[in-house]
């Protein structure tokens, strides 16, 4: 075993921060991300998959962005590697607006089929439709249907939750209906998340921030305990992420990054793993950190702010 704190079973690749949309709720393509690297380096990404599979039983891999299918050749090549390495669940999240060119849409759908991708989640909702031509999205969905890819689902974002009655959800329901004729299943989707542009544009629909945060790592979707990481992701600039950066694939191999990881070397992670949320507040006192007067949406929001302020005062 490389490291008892890392028990990988899933890999994620943030292919690019570029996108064909500029959704008002986006938490990924915000102004503060490092957009120097247009997309992941394929050679390194394949090496990442191979090294992970040499050392762990990986059962799922996801590619997302930005819009990953701005680079379909690249993404498909990576999924072929995943299939060769027997990763069962090979997923893509896409907005299905890849290009306006019908011939190219057809070509991309074929490439996806040949790549062995077996789970495509298509974002269909008010937020995406605002910036994308849904006639084109419809053509892409029809091509995906034609290719008979094992699982394609419509993946909406709900404002507050699916049951909440508001104009955004009503519009999303109409849009989902538009594609009923294709008979794709609709998945649970996500609820609007308090991060990125959503915080500026949809404050009234988000929970009220508080100064007294409770909870622990793993409470929020897609988070886990730093002393038992099961998923690592790679960013376009080569950064390897647990819930924060743990190394860079351009500087070290995945094996080296995993072998030297120890949450105890990171004072923020050590505090939260060993003392929970009160560990974070103890750190705030000890380091004299000034917290946001407006409060925080979640434990991760608090944790990330403490990390940023500690880096600032180094
Ligand atoms: S399509 Fe996805 S990645 Fe692109 S702007 Fe919208 S939410 Fe962000
Ligand atoms: S961001 Fe902080 S609180 Fe959230 S999962 Fe990671 S270590 Fe835990």
Asked if 295 contacts 209 with a C-beta cutoff of 8 angstroms, the reply is: yes
Instruction: Kindly state whether residue 284 falls inside one of the protein's structural domains.
Output: no
Probe residue for ligand 2, chosen from 230, 261, 299, 307 as the CB with the greatest number of ligand atoms within 8 Å: 299
283 CB within 6 A, ligand 2: no
In which residue are the tokens 């992420």 written?
241
d(CA 288, CA 281): 10
Domain at 25, CATH number: 3.20.20.70
Atom 8 (ligand 1): residue with closest C-alpha?
Answer: 26
Taking the model in full, what pTM does it have?
A: 0.95
Instruction: Kindly state whether residue 188 falls inside one of the protein's structural domains.
Output: yes
pLDDT of residue 314: 66
Kindly give, in sequence order, each residue whose CB lies less than 8 Å from that of residue 33, ignoring residues fewer than 6 positions away: 17
Token pair belonging to 138: 């419809």
Query: What DSSP designation does 180 have?
Result: G
216 CB within 6 A, ligand 2: no
| Ligand closest to the CA atom of residue 306 | 2
Instruction: Kindly state whether residue 314 falls inside one of the protein's structural domains.
Output: no
**How many structural domains comprise the chain?**
1
Instruction: Kindly state whether residue 211 falls inside one of the protein's structural domains.
Output: no
pLDDT in 10s for each residue of the chain, 314 residues:
899 999 999 999 999 999 999 999 999 877 777 777 789 999 999 999 999 999 999 999 999 999 999 999 999 999 999 999 999 999 999 999 999 999 999 999 999 999 999 999 999 999 999 999 999 999 999 999 999 999 999 999 999 999 999 999 999 999 999 999 999 999 999 999 999 999 999 999 999 999 899 989 988 888 999 999 999 999 999 999 998 999 999 999 999 999 999 999 999 999 999 999 999 999 999 999 999 999 999 999 999 999 999 887 66
| Ligand closest to the CA atom of residue 14 | 1
Asked if 120 contacts 95 with a C-beta cutoff of 8 angstroms, the reply is: no
68 CB within 6 A, ligand 1: no
Compute how many other C-beta atoms are within 10 angstroms of the C-beta atom of residue 133: 12
Probe residue for ligand 1, chosen from 65, 68, 69, 189 as the CB with the greatest number of ligand atoms within 8 Å: 65
Phi, psi of 86 (to 5 degrees): 60, 35
| Ligand closest to the CA atom of residue 195 | 1
Instruction: Kindly state whether residue 313 falls inside one of the protein's structural domains.
Output: no
Atom 4 (ligand 2): residue with closest C-alpha?
Answer: 300
222 φψ region: left (φ > 0), alpha (ψ -120 to 50), beta (else): left
Distance 223 CA to ligand 2 centre (A): 7
Asked if 156 contacts 186 with a C-beta cutoff of 8 angstroms, the reply is: yes
Instruction: Kindly state whether residue 295 falls inside one of the protein's structural domains.
Output: no
Instruction: Kindly state whether residue 215 falls inside one of the protein's structural domains.
Output: no
272 half-sphere exposure, CB direction, 13 A CA radius: 25
d(CA 75, CA 69): 7
69 CB within 6 A, ligand 2: no
Kindly give, in sequence order, each residue whose CB lies less than 8 Å from that of residue 151, ignoring residues fewer than 6 positions away: 118, 119, 120, 185
Instruction: Kindly state whether residue 302 falls inside one of the protein's structural domains.
Output: no
Q: Residue 94: which domain range?
A: 6-206+231-260
In which residue are the tokens 């390495």 written?
85
Kindly give, in sequence order, each residue whose CB lies less than 8 Å from that of residue 235, ignoring residues fewer than 6 positions away: 14, 40, 241
């Amino acid at each position: 075993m490389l490291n008892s704190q890392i028990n990988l079973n899933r890999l994620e690749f943030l292919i690019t921060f570029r996108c064909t949309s500029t959704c008002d709720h986006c938490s990924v393509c915000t102004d503060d991300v490092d957009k120097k690297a247009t997309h992941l380096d394929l050679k390194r990404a394949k090496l990442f998959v191979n090294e992970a599979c040499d050392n762990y039983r990986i059962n799922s891999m996801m590619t997302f962005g930005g819009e990953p299918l701005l680079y379909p050749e690249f993404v498909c090549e990576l999924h072929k590697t995943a299939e060769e390495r027997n990763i069962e669940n090979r997923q893509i999240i896409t907005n299905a607006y890849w290009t306006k060119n019908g011939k190219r849409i057809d070509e991309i759908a074929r490439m996806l089929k040949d790549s062995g991708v077996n789970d495509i989640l298509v974002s269909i909702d008010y937020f995406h439709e605002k910036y994308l031509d849904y006639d084109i999205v419809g053509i892409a969905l029809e091509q995906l249907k034609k290719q008979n890819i094992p699982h394609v689902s419509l993946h909406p974002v709900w404002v507050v939750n699916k049951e909440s009655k508001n104009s955004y959800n009503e519009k999303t329901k109409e849009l989902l209906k538009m594609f009923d004729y294709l008979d794709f299943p609709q998945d649970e989707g996500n609820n609007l998340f308090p991060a990125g542009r959503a915080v500026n544009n949809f404050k009234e629909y988000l929970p009220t921030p508080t100064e007294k945060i409770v909870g622990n790592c793993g409470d929020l979707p897609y988070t886990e305990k730093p002393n038992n990481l099961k998923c690592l992701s790679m960013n376009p600039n080569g950064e390897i992420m647990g819930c924060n950066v743990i190394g860079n694939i351009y500087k070290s191999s995945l094996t080296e990054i995993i072998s030297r990881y120890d949450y105890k070397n990171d004072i923020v992670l050590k505090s939260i793993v060993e003392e929970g949320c009160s560990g974070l507040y103890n750190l705030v006192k000890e380091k004299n950190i000034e917290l946001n007067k407006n409060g925080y949406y979640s434990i991760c929001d608090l944790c990330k702010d403490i990390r940023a302020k500690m880096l600032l005062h180094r």
